[in-house]
Amino acid sequence: MLIRRYVLTALGALLLAAPAPAQERLPVVASFSILGDFVKNVGGDRVAVESLVGPNGNAHVYAPSPNDAKKAADAKLVFVNGLGFEGWLERLVKASGTKAPIVVATQGIKPLERAGGHDHDHGRADPHAWQSVANAKVYVANIRDALIAADPAGKEVYTSNAAAYLAKLDALEREVREVIAKIPADRRRVITSHNAFGYFQDAYGISFTAPQGVSTEAEASAKDVAAIISQIKKQKVPPTTPRPTGNSPPKMLASNLSIYTLQSD
């Protein structure tokens, strides 16, 4: 009898500790996987997150599927980056008929102006704001507040998850600064195929050069790539070429340099 009670108590503890079944979690949608990851970290087990553009997709030129429209229709919140990043969002919201509030994660961030003249898309802000840790913390705070508004019963959970994640981001900020401080100032340069690192450059003093603009809608021209190669020769830039997800590295660069892959978007 005593043993049976112990077993039942242990089972009870397990049930309490288990995450809510998927159908009881708050269904939310994030426009792309980096944002979805922030939402997962803050929402924890109370939230079921669907990211529309996956880690190997390209959010700049995405075409939402009927399945995405269904996910948006079922969602209680739709998280987006904003700053013109999701040009396809309005169509999706219309097609899905979703009544979910649209949460703009960059709300309150000071946007950077787009650099360079390579862009063929519209809007003036650089949307890749998550590339500075200070901005990532604003995303996390906005996500926390939106989750609390949609699911007040989870306030404590969201507040403590967000606090833990913000502390991790503070540690990351220190780590990034320590690593960069060890690189000689004249070597703090990176060549990248897609200009997604304006906020990183601004925050940490690494200079990025890209033949392809802030959006990836337009391909880099041969002239742009030639200009980059002559710059590499002149400046002896370290051969690091991050690429956006879903794009292959430019072949002309590949024949001249070793290519490292770094996740951007």
Interaction site with Zn ion (CB under 5 A): 196, 265
Rounded least distance, CB 245 to Zn ion, Å: 9
The gap from C-alpha 244 to its chain's centroid, in whole angstroms, comes to: 12
Closest CA to 186 of 242, 258, 238: 238
- Alpha-carbon span 26 to 20, nearest angstrom: 10
| C-beta of residue 117 within 8 angstroms of C-beta of residue 211 | no
Closer of 35 and 162 to Zn ion (Cβ): 35
Closer of 87 and 239 to Zn ion (Cβ): 87
Rounded least distance, CB 60 to Zn ion, Å: 5
Q: Phi and psi at residue 127, in whole multiples of 5°?
A: -80, -10
Residue linked to tokens 């991050």: 242
Closer of 53 and 225 to Zn ion (Cβ): 53
DSSP per-residue letters across 174-235: HHHHHHHHTS-GGG-EEE-SB---HHHHHHH--EEE-SB-SSSSSPPPHHHHHHHHHHHHHH
Rounded least distance, CB 254 to Zn ion, Å: 20
Closer of 60 and 144 to Zn ion (Cβ): 60
Closer of 32 and 165 to Zn ion (Cβ): 32
Rounded least distance, CB 215 to Zn ion, Å: 7
| C-beta of residue 125 within 8 angstroms of C-beta of residue 104 | no
Rounded least distance, CB 109 to Zn ion, Å: 16
Closer of 86 and 265 to Zn ion (Cβ): 265
- Alpha-carbon span 168 to 42, nearest angstrom: 12
Structure tokens at 39: 């939402």
Rounded least distance, CB 128 to Zn ion, Å: 5
